[in-house]
Structure 1
Amino acid sequence: MLRVTQNLGQVNESAEDTLTLPFELRQKGRLRAVSDGGTELGLFLERGKVLMGGDKLVSECGRVFEVRAGVEPVITAHAPDWPSFARACYHLGNRHVTLEIGERWLRFAPDHVLEHLAEHLGLRLEHEQTPFNPESGAYHGHAHEH
């Protein structure tokens, strides 16, 4: 098993293999996985940093792997107008829901309560199988001075 210990982020580095993971696993700093080429990997990365599609990971022996966001079940909610979109962002954000945000659309993990709320707010729902790339959050990756 190769030990992957470094995330170079979104650099222009060629990779010899890829690692496709759903969002739930891209949130973990410690993980056993198998690359798309069949290499067994042990990820020992900085905790609290979500792996993004396109990130380059480096093993202890120098092999480079590119992260890909895996296809998974999601709900994409389309708003008919900007006020409905803003209202949906407010209500779902107030519940600390992990969201991917596009132009008048929101994407979240399937949840019947959230689906009902989104429909109640006037959004049209689609059940899809697609990569999930939610927002990283207000404080993720920012330095704070005290």
Structure 2
Amino acid sequence: MLKLTERLGPVAADQASDTLTLPFELRIRGRLKAKSDAGRELGLFLDRGPVLRDGEGLRAESGEIVRIRAAIEPVVTARVTAGLPLARLAYHLGNRHVQLALGSDDARPDQGWVRFPPDHVLEELAELLGAALERHQAPFDPEPGAYNQLGHGHSHPHSHSQAHHHDHEHEHDHDSHPHGHTHAH
């Protein structure tokens, strides 16, 4: 069994010796036994938490690299006018704490879409917000979330045993990704 132990982030297809195609429900697991797309036995021994992204590379103990592929699975794509209607749709669906993929079509620059696993409650909400629904098969690779972007976490290790204040100095432009740094201690 090839033991995959290290996340590499996105890798080019030619960097990998094999691929592993998984549905979303298995890409959220850190421990997994699976067969690669070439039929090899694989074991994932990864940190728990981050979702395996489509195109992400995993390094084996041997140094070999396996590339993750998002499987084709049942999804619902809700299409709506870009701008405020799309923002409203994404907000209300996201407020249900479900994973969402977001995108737009080059052929329809006036529209955007929100994709999610089939769920009659979410589908009804999307239609109430003016979305046209398409139930189909497609890869489901949802947004990782602002604080889960690979290589761009904001970690502030410190003890919470007493009240204190600290400033946050960062070597990047906050205009490119708005977020707050309010901490209650």
TM-score exceeds 0.5: yes
Moved over 6 A (4+): none
Deviation at 1:124, TM superposition (A): 0.1
Counting aligned pairs with the same residue, the percent is 56
Aligned with residue 116 of structure 2, among 108, 111, 132: 108
State how far apart, in whole Å, the 2-side matches of 1:122 and 1:88 are. Answer: 8
Match among 143, 155, 166 for residue 144 of structure 1: 155
Matched residue type, 1:93: G
Structure 2 unaligned regions, length at least 5: 105-111, 159-185
Q: TM-score, normalised by structure 2?
A: 0.74
Amino acid at match of 1:75: V
Q: 1:6 maps to which residue?
A: 6
Structure (1 or 2) with the larger CA radius of gyration: 2
One-letter amino acid matched to 1:46:
D
Larger relative contact order (CA 8 Å, sep ≥ 6): 1
Q: TM-score if structure 1 supplies the norm length?
A: 0.93
Q: What's the CA shift for 1:61?
A: 1.9
Aligned residue for 1:102, secondary structure, equals strand
TM-superposition CA deviations, 1:21-41 (whole Å, max 9, x none): 111111111111100000011
Deviation at 1:113, TM superposition (A): 0.5
**Structure 1: 5+ residue runs without aligned partners?**
none
Q: How many residue pairs are counted as aligned between the two chains?
A: 146
Partner residue, 2:128: 120
In the TM superposition, 1:8-87 aligns within 5 A as: 8-12=8-12, 14-87=15-88
Q: What is the letter of the counterpart of residue 118 of structure 2?
A: P
**Amino acid aligned to 2:123:** E
Give, in angstroms, the shift of residue 81 of structure 1.
Answer: 4.3
Give the match's secondary structure for 1:126. strand
Alpha-carbon RMSD across the aligned residues, in angstroms, is 1.5
The answer to whether residue 136 in structure 2 is matched with residue 134 in structure 1 is no
- Where 2:90 maps in the other structure, the secondary structure is helix
**Amino acid in the other structure paired with 2:50:** K
